[in-house]
Amino acid sequence: MPTLCRPFVWVPEYTISMNETLDMCRRLHADHEKLPLILRMVEDTGIRERHLIQPIEQTLQHPGVEARKRIYLSEARAHVPSVIQQALASADVAAEDIDAIAFVSCSEFNMPPLTASMINAMGFRKDARQIPIAQLGCAAGGAAINRAHDFCIAYPDTNVLIVACEFCSLCYQPMDMGVGSVLSNGLLGDAIAAAVMRGAGGMGLKLERNASYLIPYTENWMPDEAVATSFDFQAERRVPGTISLLAPSLHMLASSHGWNASKLDFYVIHAGGPGILDGLSRFLAVEPDAFRHSRATLTEYGNIASAVVLDALRRLFDEGLPEGVRGLVAGFGPGITAEASLGTWVTESFAPTPGRNRASGDS
């Protein structure tokens, strides 16, 4: 079975605290009729600090789509390679051992995807498959894990690199006074994360089964609209309530594997906000502490979109787990979509099978 190895996560040097966020809301939206509600919602996120790719003074500007795209590409090309190198090292593989690259971002759209420049600049093989994922929002981290798992099952003994590059602050909308937009400004953060899915060998989470689920007719609940200044992400107050509809899909996934979703040893969940985690705790009938790593990501970094599950998984690695414990990884996003997987923790690497079967058919 494929094994998801320890992720590496990078966050920018510029930060904004909860108090600074609240002061900024009061200053920028002093005349907003729902300012007390917005301040209360921002406080309820529990976010202590967020990291930004630019100083807050530059973040608050709106130079337009072209300028923001240049910033995204420049910063991604400057920082993604070192994150990838750390992920490769933690998985004990080299760039030439990677058979596919899943690149995830909901904060920018590029064509060709950044995988092309990564292959050219970092020594990846020219026949490495490119798997860009750009439209699943916060669920994309879970989707990338699942697609990497699927690839390794389809092509045994291959390796997939997962990269999530989220600069959500570049989507700041100074002219949008909607509650959802203003709340997003106080919730989202920036980060880059990477991890390797090894088809053979490796230590970490041995993936055994995955599934996707869409709640019907909720595609307008969490939209990402294209506007003059960039993409405008809209938070939706109804989203936490969807957990009651998503929890049964997690139970179905676990029961199809002979497991009980309420009786697992660990949980790695996308932390869109504390309300989602609180609701999931109730509907899965597990203690709130089961989501401590997801809460820590939210508290220290904010909602870093698709990178959340990789950062929460990194924290799980740092805590350390015994051989054989079982757990769930899940990301939720627009659609409303859930991407979930089940796995068992392995602490001892085993040797890859000689004569690896490349996805291209070479041996």
| Residues with catalytic roles | 138
Q: Where are the alpha helices (DSSP H) in the chain?
A: 18-28, 35-44, 56-59, 65-91, 114-122, 140-154, 179-185, 243-256, 274-284, 292-301, 308-319
Question: Which amino acid, 14?
Answer: Y
C-alpha span between 321 and 267 (Å, rounded):
12
CA–CA distance from 41 to each of 109, 153, 179 (Å)? 29, 43, 10
C-alpha span between 257 and 263 (Å, rounded):
13
At 273, phi and psi to the nearest 5?
Answer: 180, 165
Tokens of 283: 């509907």
Torsion of CA 179, 180, 185, 191, to 10 degrees: 170
C-alpha span between 194 and 88 (Å, rounded):
9
